[in-house]
Amino acid sequence: MDFITHSLIGAGGARLAAPRREWLPQLSLAGLLGSLVMDSDSWLYLIGPNYYGLYHRVITHSIIGLTACALFAATVARAVACKASWRRFGWFVSANLPEDDTPDAAPFRWFLLIAAIAAAMHFLGDVITGFGNMTPLWPWSWWDASLRLVNSFSVTIFTATLAWHIVLRTRGGTRRRELIITACWALFVAAYLALRWVLIETGSAQPAFI
């Protein structure tokens, strides 16, 4: 899945999981980093496309790699949040706080929780895409969990995810309403993936590769 969609999903997870609204701007950084650090092995493409295709999403997308990425993202986000001027990060998911209302840095456990959620959502997003390998049990097994239902950039999923964020910003407000909006987004994406699965199984569409 592409970087923008990963980022939007990570930021959305932060919005839903943040226990206090005033912590959301700083916790959004944990969601963003948690959703992107797992692709830190993208430099493998410099060695060559074939090498990248074989080894991208192997170590970083394993259970071990996911845990390490979440810990790293949470640690960095918490360290940055300790600087008051950076606690306003996350303007794309919530309005900045008033100048005279800067909260203390949130406890580390919330940074870790949101980074872990974002990393898990990144993993699930990559499971459905069609480029690279998905080896969650590495180094014990090279079992590939890829479903290859959509391209690495899916216009449908990206558009739905962007719309989800816009509706959260304009029609959200209460936790219950945001959960309903999120459930509608998740059901739409699930229905689209199910349709892709049926089309591939019946031979009406080809597995997605880039």
* pLDDT, tens digit (0-9, with 9 covering 90-100), for 145-169: 888 889 888 999 999 999 998 898 8
Considering the domain boundaries, does residue 99 fall inside one?
yes
Measure Cα distances from 58 to 32, 38, 134, 200 in Å.
21, 10, 6, 25
Task: Judge whether 210 lies within some domain.
Answer: no
Read off the pLDDT of residues 112-149 as tens digits, 9 standing for 90 and up.
Answer: 999 999 999 999 998 998 666 788 888 898 888 888 88
Which residue, chain included where needed, has tokens 């600087």?
A: 83
The whole-number average pLDDT for the span 80-109 is: 65
| pLDDT value of position 210 | 42
Assess if residue 194 is contained within a domain: yes
Among 52, 16, 30, CA closest to 152:
52
| Residue 85, domain member (yes or no) | yes
- Rounded to two decimals, what is the model's pTM? 0.85
In the predicted structure, residue 85 carries a pLDDT above the cut 80: no
Residue 120 lies in a domain: yes
Buried b (16+ CB within 10 A) or exposed e, 139-174: eeeeeeebbbbbbbebeebeebbeebbebbeeebee
- Within a domain: 184: yes
- As a whole-number percent, the residues of the chain with pLDDT over 70 amount to 80
**Full residue range of the structural domain in which residue 62 is found:** 3-201
Name the more confident of 163 and 199: 163
pLDDT for the residue numbered 193: 94
Look at the chain and report how many structural domains it folds into: 1
* CA atoms within 13 Å, Cβ hemisphere of 36: 14
- Angle (CA) 2-40-193 rounded to 5° is 30
Within 45-190, strands assigned E span: none
**Residue 207 located in a structural domain:** no
Residue 206: DSSP 8-state: P
Region 26-36: mean pLDDT is 90
In this structure, are residues 84 and 118 in contact, taking their beta carbons and an 8 Å threshold?
no
If one compares 73 and 171, the residue with the highest pLDDT of the two is 73
Report helix, strand or coil for 150.
strand
- Stated length of the chain: 210
* pLDDT, averaged across the chain: 83
Per the domain annotation, does 127 fall within a domain?
A: yes
CB 20 within 8 A of CB 107: no
SS3 state at 129: strand
